[in-house]
Amino acid sequence: MQGDAVLGSSFRRLIDYTSANRVDKYFLVYLVWLLAAAAWVWTLLISPQAMAGMLDVLGVHRFTISAIQRFGFVLLGLAWLVATLWTEHYLRTSVSKQRVMRSVVRVVIATIVIFIVTTLVQLSPVLVQLI
């Protein structure tokens, strides 16, 4: 009888540890998701100006630049929405598959790459003038 009580308490402790660990993983996943979405919003907001600067340096007509800016912003907004929803699903399902750290690292790396590319596009007019 006493062995069952010890086994039961050990099992309860294991369940408590697992659920607490799971809560921590979900907290990490949603924190990374919110930070990535916020970084992508910032990228979305600076992208039209970055594209306009790059197209101006390339000698594209100003009316064409205006149209590309407006349509580009809408398309980038849709891409942001899809990427945000997909990332939330990807990170959330990584908890059940026990691949949280791999998924978090992939999302962070993708966010950093997007940030670097956007920054380089934004700086492209300055870089072209330096060359």
Q: Tell me: the pLDDT tens digits for 24-64?
A: 888 889 999 999 999 888 888 888 877 777 787 778 888 88
Whether 88 shows a pLDDT value over 50: the answer reads: yes
Range 112-115 contact pairs with CB under 8 angstroms and sequence separation of 24 or more: 114/39, 114/40, 114/43, 115/39, 115/43
Is 36 inside any structural domain? Answer: yes
Instruction: Determine the Cα–Cα distance for residues 91 and 97; give it in Å rounded to an integer.
Output: 10
| pTM over 0.85, yes/no | no
**Encoded tokens for 125:** 């007019």
Is 115 inside any structural domain? Answer: yes
Sole residue written with tokens 């992208």: 47
Whether 4 shows a pLDDT value over 70: the answer reads: no
**Encoded tokens for 7:** 């086994």
How much is the average pLDDT of 69-73? 85
pLDDT confidence bin for 17, thresholds 50/70/90? very low
Is 43 inside any structural domain? Answer: yes
How much is the average pLDDT of 68-97? 90
Instruction: Provide the pLDDT for residue 16.
Output: 46
Its domain, for residue 99, covers 26-130
Whether 82 shows a pLDDT value over 90: the answer reads: yes
Is 2 inside any structural domain? Answer: no
Overall domain count for the chain: 1
Is 4 inside any structural domain? Answer: no
Is 102 inside any structural domain? Answer: yes
